[in-house]
């Protein structure tokens, strides 16, 4: 019996997580991509097949393995989405005729990533970093901070001394991290509250959506590397997050009330049961 129960539990968990992923991708696609990228998890393609074989030099051979650990892999972004080319035709795979662009140059990387991350590209190009990259190749590009193949979900942890003190003092980076810290913390708290509500069986689609949008919009802001702007926008984001919080608080209160009310009902029924039982006995006697 316990065995069957755990299988059932696992199945429910599986359906819950897969639908959540699909929702996430839908929202992302609608809001941020100019054209949808083909669905279906890419496990194999001629790129991957050939690039894991012996004809590739050893220092390149690990790239497909790296990529399989990335957040992009889990979101069906594959080799050809960044490098172009034809993943179905081994002979023409790396032909410019099929859109192959090879390895993007240091200063061209932002445009490759910005095909999909449109808002970020815009903020980045207007920033001190983007301008320095275009003027003299001295600014960091996307890969400097995120890597290229094993790209993970982003957070302010990316801002650290070893990464941010290569070109200027860490002090400037640290001020930025401080400015982002409180809002990030609030976002995490709300996210945890929503998880709690979902585990209680509450439908939180609308709140999930607002939080997702607000979070994405907020995280795009970092790429301006403009501390003044981040500080100024903090109030605006605090307000937006406040609204989501209010709704969540209300739902928690309702849940509490419902729980208390059902406990109350249970007591009433139990009481009634006892009364009926006693009455029945008196009647018999
Ligand atoms: C039949 C084998 C084969 C296939 C298929 C293949 N590649 Fe390659 N690729 C190579 C070889 C060989 C190199 C040269 C690297 C080396 O010297 O080991 C290379 C180099 C590259 C490079 C870096 C060099 C450059 O031109 O800038 C990229 C990027 C690349 N391939 C991407 C892809 C993508 C994307 C696909 C699928 C659309 C693909 N490859 C399909 C064999 C292949
Ligand atoms: C998210 C975009 C992205 C994806 C997906 C991606 N690459 Fe790359 N790749 C890059 C960028 C950017 C560079 C250049 C910067 C660097 O070397 O890290 C690069 C560099 C390379 C190079 C040259 C490495 C070197 O040191 O010169 C090869 C080979 C390559 N990629 C193959 C692949 C293969 C094979 C896949 C699929 C398994 C793949 N890439 C998936 C963005 C991507
Ligand atoms: C100087 C380092 C740095 C550079 C350069 C950089 N990023 Fe980021 N990126 C970050 C940090 C830090 C965060 C997390 C910000 C946060 O959590 O508030 C982030 C967040 C992100 C996110 C997640 C936010 C979201 O809206 O989903 C994406 C996607 C992203 N960056 C893509 C890019 C692209 C594309 C480029 C190049 C055009 C780029 N980044 C350049 C440091 C950088
Ligand atoms: C073909 C479209 C496409 C290209 C090109 C692309 N990405 Fe992405 N990227 C996505 C999708 C889809 C996701 C998953 C949705 C999400 O998490 O935002 C993602 C997620 C990310 C994340 C994690 C965002 C998060 O939620 O924390 C980062 C960081 C990122 N990409 C950076 C890059 C960088 C850097 C490049 C270029 C080297 C790049 N991307 C190229 C489509 C793309
Ligand atoms: C590859 C070199 C390089 C790296 C790595 C780098 N920066 Fe920068 N940064 C620059 C350049 C170049 C400028 C613009 C010129 C200047 O103001 O010194 C700049 C400017 C800045 C500014 C001031 C922008 C303004 O408009 O006043 C901040 C804040 C900043 N960087 C934060 C960071 C953070 C945070 C990191 C690490 C995640 C980082 N940088 C990593 C090169 C770099």
Structure tokens that stand for 52 in this block = 């894991």
State in Å: Cα 267 to ligand 4 middle. Answer: 54
pLDDT attached to residue 21: 42
CB atoms within 10 A of CB 184: 16
pLDDT above 60: residue 36: no
pLDDT attached to residue 34: 44
pLDDT above 50: residue 7: no
pLDDT attached to residue 23: 45
State in Å: Cα 37 to ligand 1 middle. Answer: 22
3-class state of residue 3 by DSSP: helix
For the four alpha carbons of 78, 81, 87 and 88, in that order, the dihedral sign comes to: positive
- Average per-residue pLDDT in the chain? 86
- 30: confidence class by pLDDT, cuts 50, 70, 90: low
> Considering only CA atoms, which residue is closest to atom 34 of ligand 4?
113
pLDDT above 80: residue 24: no
18-77-119-122 Cα dihedral, nearest 10 degrees: 170
Q: Which ligand 3 atom lies nearest to the CA of residue 141?
A: 5
pLDDT attached to residue 283: 76
Q: Which residues of 44-71 are buried (b: 16+ CB within 10 A; e: fewer)?
A: ebbbbeebeeeeeeeeeeebbeebeebe
Phi, psi of 113 (to 5 degrees): -75, -35
pLDDT above 70: residue 192: yes
pLDDT attached to residue 117: 94
- In percent, how much of the chain has pLDDT > 70? 85
For ligand 2, residues with CB inside 6 Å are: 47-48, 51, 60, 63-64, 67, 72, 77-79, 81-83, 103-104, 109, 112, 143, 148-149
> Considering only CA atoms, which residue is closest to atom 19 of ligand 1?
56
State in Å: Cα 25 to ligand 2 middle. Answer: 23
Q: Which residues of 130-140 are buried (b: 16+ CB within 10 A; e: fewer)?
A: beebeeeeebb
Distance (Å, rounded) from C-alpha 158 to C-alpha 137?
21
Q: Which of 38, 79, 113, 143 to mutate to test the pocket of ligand 2 (most atoms within 8 A of CB)?
A: 79
Distance (Å, rounded) from C-alpha 236 to C-alpha 242?
10
Q: Which pTM does this prediction carry?
A: 0.85
Q: Which residues of 100-129 are buried (b: 16+ CB within 10 A; e: fewer)?
A: beeebeeeebbebbbebbebbbebbbebeb
pLDDT above 60: residue 8: no
pLDDT attached to residue 220: 87
What mean pLDDT comes out for the span 239-264?
Answer: 91
- Express each pLDDT in 120-163 by its tens digit: 999 999 999 999 999 999 999 999 999 999 999 999 999 999 99
- In percent, how much of the chain has pLDDT > 90? 71
Angle, vertex CA 265, rays to CA 260 and CA 266, nearest 5: 95
Ranges 22-36, 59-73, 170-184, 225-239, most confident:
59-73
Q: Which ligand 3 atom lies nearest to the CA of residue 119?
A: 26
pLDDT attached to residue 219: 86
What mean pLDDT comes out for the span 195-205?
Answer: 92
- Express each pLDDT in 165-179 by its tens digit: 999 999 989 999 998
State in Å: Cα 150 to ligand 2 middle. Answer: 10
Q: Which ligand 5 atom lies nearest to the CA of residue 173?
A: 35
Determine if residue 226 is left, alpha or beta; phi over 0 gives left, psi from -120 to 50 gives alpha, anything else beta: beta
pLDDT above 80: residue 28: no
Alpha carbon distance, N-terminus to C-terminus of the chain: 44
């Amino acid at each position: 019996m316990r065995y069957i129960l755990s299988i059932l539990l696992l199945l429910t968990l599986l359906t819950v997580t897969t639908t959540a992923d699909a929702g996430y991708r839908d929202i992302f696609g609608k809001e941020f991509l100019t054209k949808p990228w083909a669905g279906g998890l890419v496990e194999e393609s001629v790129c991957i097949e050939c690039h894991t074989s012996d004809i590739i030099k050893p220092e390149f051979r690990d790239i497909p393995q790296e990529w399989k650990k990335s957040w992009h892999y889990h979101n069906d972004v594959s080799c050809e989405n960044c490098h172009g080319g034809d993943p179905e035709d081994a002979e023409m795979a790396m032909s410019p005729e099929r859109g192959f662009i090879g390895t993007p140059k240091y200063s061209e990387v932002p445009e490759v990533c910005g095909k999909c991350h449109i808002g970020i590209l815009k903020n980045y190009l207007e920033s001190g970093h983007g301008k320095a990259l275009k003027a003299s190749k001295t600014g960091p590009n996307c890969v400097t901070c995120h890597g290229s193949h094993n790209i993970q979900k982003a957070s302010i942890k990316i801002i650290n001394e070893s990464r941010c003190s290569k070109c200027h003092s860490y002090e400037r980076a640290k001020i930025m991290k401080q400015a982002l810290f409180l809002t990030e913390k609030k976002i995490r708290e709300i996210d945890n509250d929503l998880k709690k509500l979902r585990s209680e069986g509450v439908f939180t689609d609308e709140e999930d959506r607002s939080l997702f949008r607000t979070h994405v919009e907020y995280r795009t802001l970092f790429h301006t590397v403009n501390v003044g702007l981040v500080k100024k926008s903090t109030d605006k984001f605090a307000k937006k997050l406040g609204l989501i919080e209010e709704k969540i608080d209300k739902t928690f209160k309702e849940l509490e009330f419902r729980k208390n009310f059902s406990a109350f009902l249970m007591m009433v029924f139990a009481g009634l049961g006892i009364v009926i039982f006693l009455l029945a006995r008196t009647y018999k006697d």
